[in-house]
């Protein structure tokens, strides 16, 4: 039976992406175990069946067009294509939504493309794969996109902390959200991936600003930094969100580990209630 869990960051999950992930990990020599066969890549219908079994209401899918230059090391290769997201949201209303993954190197061409993408009600957020661009969150290239998010009433999610692959990491320092959060008080920012190794810095931003939130994507609960776990249980009970970063973490395993933490009433907030206050376009 479907319950209220919302996964704010689930990469493209269809079987055609499996080889792309394997090629990327091999090229970077990253020791990472992808979600197993029972909880691995699947068709849309099969994923909905899995979601029903696990009590997941909605998956939010980073979505963008595939540039000509994209290879296995580029995030665009593991994101959904617009036509894929549209097909999923049409075939399974309410079960899938999209976040538009921006490319700040495209200038006004990218800004206008993003404006058109936000015309779709199923596009519920903007997404930044931070380390692909080696730009801090307060880089001027991002400000036009933050302004679009303010106009559309959608949040902006971004990978914070270190890069999992061979890309510069300093750009993901959570302190970079300090100025954007001040300049755009009506935009909600989600610092994803727990902000590790700058978890305390990420927490300080979430405590300082009512419009800064933290997300767990790609980190299974058993690998959460203790400071992040304590924040979820306590002062961050209204400021934290569940994300899988699938296939980096398995939905079934992550949810099982989460229950082992015995979060009590905080669990419902973390798994879905907080997301519903932020992703206002979700049905």
Domain count, the chain: 1
Task: Kindly tell me if the per-residue pLDDT of 230 is higher than 50.
Answer: yes
pLDDT in tens, 86-128: 999 999 999 999 999 999 999 999 999 999 999 999 999 999 9
* Residue listed under structure tokens 């209401």: 57
At a CB cut-off of 8 Å and minimum separation 6, what does 96 contact?
Answer: 44, 58, 59, 60, 61, 85, 88, 89, 122
Nearest one of 148, 238, 158 to 190, comparing CA atoms = 158
User: Residue 5 gets which letter from DSSP?
Assistant: E
Q: Does 1 fall in a domain?
A: no
Start-end of H helices in the chain: 18-28, 44-54, 82-91, 107-117, 143-152, 178-183, 199-208, 226-233, 251-260, 265-268, 274-278
Confidence of residue 1 (pLDDT cuts 50, 70, 90): very low
Is residue 4 domain-resident?
no
Coil, strand, or helix at residue 124?
strand
Instruction: Give CA 134 to chain center in angstroms.
Output: 18
User: Could you give the count of Cα atoms lying within 13 Å of 110 in the half-sphere of its Cβ?
Assistant: 19
We report the CATH number of the domain holding residue 109 as: 3.20.20.140
Q: List the beta bridge partners of residue 240.
A: 214
Q: Tell me the pLDDT of the chain averaged across its residues.
A: 93
Residue 217 lies in a domain: yes
Residue range(s) defining the domain that contains residue 206: 9-278
Q: Classify residue 191: in a domain, yes or no.
A: yes
In a domain, 3, yes or no: no
Mean pLDDT of 170-178: 98
For residue range 11-65, what is the model confidence (pLDDT) as tens digits? 999 999 988 888 877 777 666 666 665 688 999 999 999 999 999 999 999 999 9
pLDDT of residue 22: 84
Q: What is the pLDDT of residue 2?
A: 46
């Amino acid at each position: 039976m479907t319950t209220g869990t919302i996964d704010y960051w689930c990469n493209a999950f269809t079987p055609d992406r499996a080889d792309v992930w394997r090629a990327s990990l091999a090229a970077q020599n990253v020791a990472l175990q992808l979600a197993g066969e029972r909880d691995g890549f699947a068709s849309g219908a099969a994923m909905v069946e899995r979601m029903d079994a696990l009590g997941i209401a909605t998956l939010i899918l980073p979505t963008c067009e595939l540039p000509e230059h994209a290879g296995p090391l580029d995030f665009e290769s593991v994101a959904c294509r617009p036509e894929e997201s549209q097909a999923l949201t049409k075939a399974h209303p309410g079960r899938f939504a999209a976040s538009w993954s921006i490319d700040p190197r495209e200038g006004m061409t990218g800004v206008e493309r993003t404006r058109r993408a936000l015309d779709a009600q199923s596009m519920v957020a903007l997404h930044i794969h931070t380390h692909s661009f080696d730009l801090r969150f307060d880089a001027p290239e991002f400000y036009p996109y933050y302004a679009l998010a303010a106009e559309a009433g959608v949040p902006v999610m971004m990978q914070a902390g270190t890069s999992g692959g061979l890309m510069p990491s300093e750009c993901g320092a959570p302190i970079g959200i300090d100025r954007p959060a001040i300049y755009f008080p009506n935009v909600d920012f989600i610092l994803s991936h727990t902000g590790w190794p700058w978890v305390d810095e990420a927490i300080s931003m979430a405590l300082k600003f009512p419009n800064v939130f933290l997300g767990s994507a790609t980190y299974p609960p058993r690998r959460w930094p203790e400071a992040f776990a304590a924040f979820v249980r306590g002062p961050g009970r209204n400021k934290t969100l569940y994300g899988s970063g699938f296939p980096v973490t398995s939905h079934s395993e992550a949810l099982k580990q989460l229950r082992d933490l015995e979060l009590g009433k905080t669990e419902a907030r973390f798994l879905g209630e907080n997301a519903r206050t932020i992703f206002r376009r979700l049905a």
